[in-house]
Structure 1
Amino acid sequence: MAQPTSSALRALALEYKSLLDEPVEGFRVKLVNDDNLFEWEVAIFGPPDTLYQGGYFKAHMKFPPDYPYSPPSIRFLTKVWHPNVYENGDLCISILHPPVDDPQSGELPCERWNPTQNVRTILLSVISLLNEPNTFSPANVDASVMYRRWRDSRGKDKEYENIIRSDPTSKLSKYVSVTYTQL
């Protein structure tokens, strides 16, 4: 890893303190290792009134040495069946994409990372994504197709919902299901 910049250390220290003092509803953060501000563990509680309500998801957030000029990455450690989560757990969301011109992506430059973003805006974007997946640019095509069927049927097509809420040891676990704990 390249040497972290002093502005990255300062920004991360301030953001971490801010999130401890005033947490984002539905999230808790902690450092993976107390002497490394560049790797965080994030606890995500499924947002109310979504299919993920009641869910508990662990994620790992890794910051580059030139943060906030480059975006962090987020990887779910808990298996998540979602159109915008790759099979390996990596989150695909515009706000975490580098601010480069990419005509193939279909994203507007204003939707991509910029240094005015911060961890709080990222976490709020994750909540928004759990509530309303981006099916136009899916990381998991099967989940995207199932989500669209579920949404278009107004919840009558239960395949997507059943996979999200299934027991990980069930026959549907081949699709990667969400692990739940009682809150």
Structure 2
Amino acid sequence: MIGKGREAVSLHASSLTREYKTISENPPPYITAHPSESNILEWHYIITGPEDTPYHGGQYWGTLMFPPNYPFAPPAIRMHTPSGRFQPSTRLCLSISDFHPKSFNPAWEVSTILIGLLSFMTSDEMTTGSVSTTPAERKSMASRSRWWNSTGGGSQAKANPAQKGNVKAGDGGAKFRAEWPEVDVENWESIKKNKIDPATGNRLDGENGSSCGPQLGIAGSSGNQAQAVVDAVVQQRDAGRGWIYRNKLLVAGAVIFIYVLIARLVHGDGLA
């Protein structure tokens, strides 16, 4: 019995190996996928957001966890990258997923499953594991997707081991880096080129939003700006002070002059 079980697993693994060869030689549009080196039943995919969708340019990474009796049962499908369409790392209820084993067709291949996932992603249909967000929110997530994948959502400095089939922000991008080393290198080049803060995903050049306060209307070159700022501060400081304080040296001189004059007059009267 044990021998037959191993033979069955070997048969299904052989089927997935053939499918990997097929999908590598003829990948579907916007999709790339491969099995994990350590487990033929664990597949990793990347969907690139198609044009004319809120996901355009986004990099969406996920996993397919196949059962040992595949292709007679469907895989569990997850998308780990936040997309605004699915809950990250949550099993998705689709007709091509393990939520509906009776509706799964053994003739469907890995490429069929991923094309179906992409089709559902770009639709408005809701199901278990999907979420409702605005197109603007989805575009924002698409622009941060490469950063999220390669940093684990900004947690690369304090990485925690990823759980099986459940990769969330906190693993520091370790799982993504292990499965997609070349893509990870490209992502880091993009992060550096676009001056993205690895900890937050925000632009370091301040282009994410407006500045935190009003700006002084100072004209001139940068070499004159420092002195202009000083002059503006002095003007603001003096504006609230009286004439006597601003002309204290003149007032002091006048007081001394009057004192000397009075002293001389008194001294002259005493002699008379």
Asked if TM exceeds 0.5, the reply is yes
Match of 2:58 in 1: 55
Check whether the contact 2:78–2:90 (CA below 8 A) recurs between aligned residues: yes
2:105 aligned residue (81, 106, 114):
114
Distance in 2 of aligned mates of 1:54 and 1:15: 26
Match of 1:20 in 2: 24
Distance in 2 of aligned mates of 1:77 and 1:8: 26
Distance in 1 of aligned mates of 2:118 and 2:125: 12
Question: For residue 12 of structure 1, what is the amino acid of its counterpart?
Answer: L
Check whether the contact 2:49–2:56 (CA below 8 A) recurs between aligned residues: yes
- 1:133 partner SS: coil
Instruction: Indicate how the Cα distance of structure 1 residues 76 and 139 shifts in structure 2: closer, same or farther if over 3 A, else same.
Output: closer
Check whether the contact 1:56–1:180 (CA below 8 A) recurs between aligned residues: yes
Check whether the contact 1:58–1:78 (CA below 8 A) recurs between aligned residues: yes
Distance in 2 of aligned mates of 1:10 and 1:30: 14
Distance in 1 of aligned mates of 2:65 and 2:18: 16
Check whether the contact 1:50–1:130 (CA below 8 A) recurs between aligned residues: no
Identity among equivalent positions (%) equals 28
Alignment pair present for 1:162 and 2:162:
no
Instruction: Indicate how the Cα distance of structure 1 residues 30 and 99 shifts in structure 2: closer, same or farther if over 3 A, else same.
Output: closer
Pairwise CA distance, 1:53: 1.2
Match of 1:156 in 2: none
Pairwise CA distance, 1:63: 0.8
Check whether the contact 1:54–1:180 (CA below 8 A) recurs between aligned residues: no
Match of 1:94 in 2: 95
Where does the alignment leave 5 or more consecutive residues of structure 2 unmatched? 147-186, 191-272
Check whether the contact 1:86–1:92 (CA below 8 A) recurs between aligned residues: no
Match of 1:180 in 2: 145
Pairwise CA distance, 1:24: 1.2
Q: Deviations over 1:45-85 (max 9, x none)?
A: 01222111111111111111000011011211211211xx2
Pairwise CA distance, 1:165: 1.9
Match of 2:35 in 1: 31
Instruction: Indicate how the Cα distance of structure 1 residues 90 and 81 shifts in structure 2: closer, same or farther if over 3 A, else same.
Output: farther
Distance in 1 of aligned mates of 2:10 and 2:106: 15
Check whether the contact 2:96–2:104 (CA below 8 A) recurs between aligned residues: yes
Map 1:129-140 to 2 at 5 A: 129-135=120-126, 137-140=127-130
Q: Deviations over 1:3-43 (max 9, x none)?
A: 562331121011011011111111111232x2421111111
The structure carrying a bigger strand percent of its residues is 1
1:69 aligned residue (72, 85, 94):
72
2:83 aligned residue (80, 84, 87):
80
1:11 aligned residue (15, 23, 37):
15
- 2:121 partner SS: helix
Question: For residue 14 of structure 2, what is the amino acid of its counterpart?
Answer: R
Pairwise CA distance, 1:91: 2.6
- Greater C-alpha Rg: 2
Check whether the contact 2:92–2:128 (CA below 8 A) recurs between aligned residues: no
Match of 2:152 in 1: none
Which of 85-94 and 69-78 deviates more?
85-94
Check whether the contact 1:61–1:74 (CA below 8 A) recurs between aligned residues: yes
